[in-house]
A = this chain, B = another copy of it.
Amino acid sequence: MDHQRGFQQGEHQGECKAELALKVIQGRWSVLILRELVDGIQRFSDLQRALEGVSQKVLTAQLRDLEADGVVHRTIHPEVPPRVDYALTDLGIELLPVLDGLHAWGERQADFNAASR
């Protein structure tokens, strides 16, 4: 085995940056939001339409969390009616390959699930 770097580092004292990353994308809609934003800037209402089933309160909360984590940028246009749009930050863009990795592994895991029936 040669995975001697990365999340296994240190004395296994509980502190692990992989967990930090997980906290960021743990939300029920976080990954889905990020996926929508890959296509570019989206307005609040665009996201709400794309993410069928999300309520205003929850969508707002998840976007605020992602913003606080530096993954998403929020722009308020001072107009009437108000317009707000969301975009990935550089940090958010750097997250995309990681999500690709999760996705790829998820496909293999799905195969396992299918096989174990």
Contact = CB atoms under 8 A, between A and B. Distances in A.
Contacts of A71: 109
Interface of A: 1, 3, 5-9, 12, 14, 16-22, 24-26, 31-32, 35-36, 38, 50-53, 69-71, 91, 93-110, 112-113, 116
Number of copies: 2
The A interface, classified by DSSP as helix, strand, loop or mixed, is: helix
Given A7-B100, A101-B101, A110-B17, A12 B35 contact: yes
Given A69-B109, A108-B94, A109-B69, A18 B1 contact: no
Given A3-B97, A101-B101, A110 B31 contact: no
Nearest to A17: B106
